Amino acid sequence: MIRTERALAFIYVAAMIAIAIWAIPSNDRYNFLAVRYLGANTRVANMLFTKPPNLSLAGRLRLDRLQLELVGKYVKKPIKPGDAIVPTNLASWPDLSDDLIPVALSDEPDWMTFNEGSMVNVWKGDKPITLHGAEVQAIVRPDESKKTWLVLLRRSDLVPDYLSNSDLAKSDSPVKMRLDGLPHRPQQPAAHKS
């Protein structure tokens, strides 16, 4: 009988501690930090964020829960390296224009290097599909049950002959893609001195 009472008391105390930790108000100290520049429509993955230093146990527990909310979401407004990644700046789907062409990718990309803002060249067989490279607008997975990922490129970056070719989005099409540039913060135009 005493063992049962102790076990129930232990479960009660553990539950109260968990509820108290869960109810601690959130602030920027309890958010993950971006490890590199994350442009709008970047798909968030584990390697793109890190925990802030000197976290308490409550902070670590809060971030473990928050991690599940972040992964797979898309950035709405750009985030600088070292800035907080807050759930209110994330969406479940990227904000896309109508002028995009999907190109199939057979495997999940390396999110650190291949994401929104990456520069790529694409070929179908031995013919180039991109004019002078293309900037990735977003990478999406329309059907979570399938392995296929779609890289969304601007129509204006593609060779006109392929714009009407709808099989670029099929995973069985022999499309080759090469990463030519890593995602980075857009350069600000230089101010002119008068």
Kindly report which listed range (49-53, 103-107, 118-122) carries the lowest average pLDDT score. Answer: 103-107
The pLDDT value recorded for residue 89 is: 96
**And the tokens for 157?**
């970056």
Average pLDDT, the chain: 82
Condensed to tens digits (0 to 9), the pLDDT of residues 15-25 reads: 777 776 555 55
Q: Is the pLDDT of residue 128 over 80?
A: yes
The pLDDT value recorded for residue 30 is: 78
Annotated domain spans of the chain: 2-91, 100-181
2-91: CATH, from 3.40.120.10, 3.90.1210.10, 3.40.50.1820, 3.30.1280.10:
3.90.1210.10
Q: Where are the beta strands (DSSP E) in the chain?
A: 32-34, 49-50, 74-75, 84-85, 90-91, 100-105, 119-124, 127-128, 134-140, 149-154, 175-181
CA–CA dist 143, 20 (Å, integer)? 38
Q: Is the pLDDT of residue 26 over 50?
A: no
Condensed to tens digits (0 to 9), the pLDDT of residues 142-181 reads: 887 777 899 999 988 888 766 555 556 554 556 788 888 8
Mean pLDDT score, 49-56: 87
